[in-house]
Amino acid sequence: MLILDELRYSEEHLWVRHEGDHTVTLGMTDFGQSQLGDLCYVALPNEGDEIAYCEPFGSVECANLVADLYAPLCGRVLEINREVIHNPTMVNASPYRKGWMIRAKLFTPEELDGLMSADDYEEYILTDGL
């Protein structure tokens, strides 16, 4: 299980990379994708849509399950990764690089402080996250 120190994490197994200028990139964690198995479908919002904390912004589907993706913060979608829509297994193969899902402009950058560090996320997985 790969957990990168430079990222922040949500309890819903999403990672957030702060890109600067109130912009973030979001994706599914290595642990999250491994719990689902090979993805066969990814639905993402449209560019320009707003995402709201704890509200679904998309979904992923594997052989037996459809799972909503819950926003770990609020913002406006700047870009979506069309590659993962056309090839969902990119999330499985490269969850932190090629398998990113959306880029967004944060409404409140301080929301990043409410996300887990890599150490906190690892502890969460080991104690509560299953």
Closest CA to 43 of 77, 20, 72: 77
The pLDDT score that the predictor gives to residue 64 is 85
CATH number, domain 8-118: 2.40.50.100
Using left for φ > 0, alpha for ψ between -120 and 50, and beta otherwise, residue 13 falls in left
What tens digit of pLDDT does each residue of 42-60 get? Answer: 999 999 999 999 999 999 9
Mean pLDDT, residues 8-25 taken together: 96
Q: How confident is the model at residue 95 (pLDDT cuts 50, 70, 90)?
A: very high
Mean pLDDT, residues 10-32 taken together: 96
CA 53 vs CA 11, 19, 69: distances in Å = 12, 19, 11
The pLDDT score that the predictor gives to residue 130 is 55
What tens digit of pLDDT does each residue of 68-79 get? Answer: 999 999 999 999
The per-residue pLDDT of the chain, averaged, comes to 95
Task: Supply the pTM of this predicted model.
Answer: 0.94
Q: How confident is the model at residue 129 (pLDDT cuts 50, 70, 90)?
A: low
Q: What distance in Å separates the CA atoms of residue 82 and residue 86, rounded to the nearest whole number? A: 6
> Structural domain boundaries of the chain?
8-118
Mean pLDDT, residues 94-117 taken together: 96
42: tokens are 């990814």
